[in-house]
A = this chain, B = another copy of it.
Amino acid sequence: MPKESSTQERRHDILDSVQRSGRVFVADLSQSFGVSEVTIRSDLQMLADQGLVVRTHGGAIPAGRLSPELSLALRRQQQPLAKDHIGAAGAELIEDGDAVYLDTSSTALAIARHLTHHRYVTVVTNSIAIVNELTDCPNVHVVVPGGRLRRETASLIGADGLDYIRQLNIQKGFFGAHGVTPAEGLTDVSVEEAEVKRVLVGLCRQVVAVLDATKWGRVGVASFATLEQIDVIITDQDAPAELVAQAQAAGVAVHLV
Query: Measured between alpha carbons, how far is A132 from B15 in the docked complex, in Å?
Result: 22
User: Which residue of B16, B49, B69, B147 is within 8 Å of A146 (Cβ)?
Assistant: B147
Give the CA-CA distance A57 to B65 in the complex, in Å.
30
A242 nearest CB across to chain B (Å): 32
Q: Is the CB of A50 within 8 A of B68?
A: no
A66, CB-defined interface residue at 8 Å: yes
Chain B residues with CB under 8 A of A217: none
Contacting pair B15 A70 (CB below 8 A):
yes
> Could you say which of B50, B59, B65, B147 contacts A77, with CB atoms under 8 Å apart?
B50
Say whether chain A's binding surface is mostly helix, strand, loop, or mixed.
mixed
- A residues near B, CB below 8 A? 5-9, 11-12, 15-16, 23, 46-47, 49-52, 54, 56-59, 61, 65-70, 73-74, 76-77, 128, 131-132, 134-136, 138, 141-149, 151, 154, 156, 160-161, 163-164
Give me 18 other A-B pairs in contact (C-beta within 8 A), A6-B57, A9-B65, A135-B154 excluded.
Answer: A6-B59, A7-B56, A8-B54, A8-B66, A11-B70, A47-B73, A52-B73, A68-B138, A69-B136, A128-B128, A138-B151, A141-B149, A143-B149, A144-B147, A144-B148, A146-B146, A146-B161, A163-B163
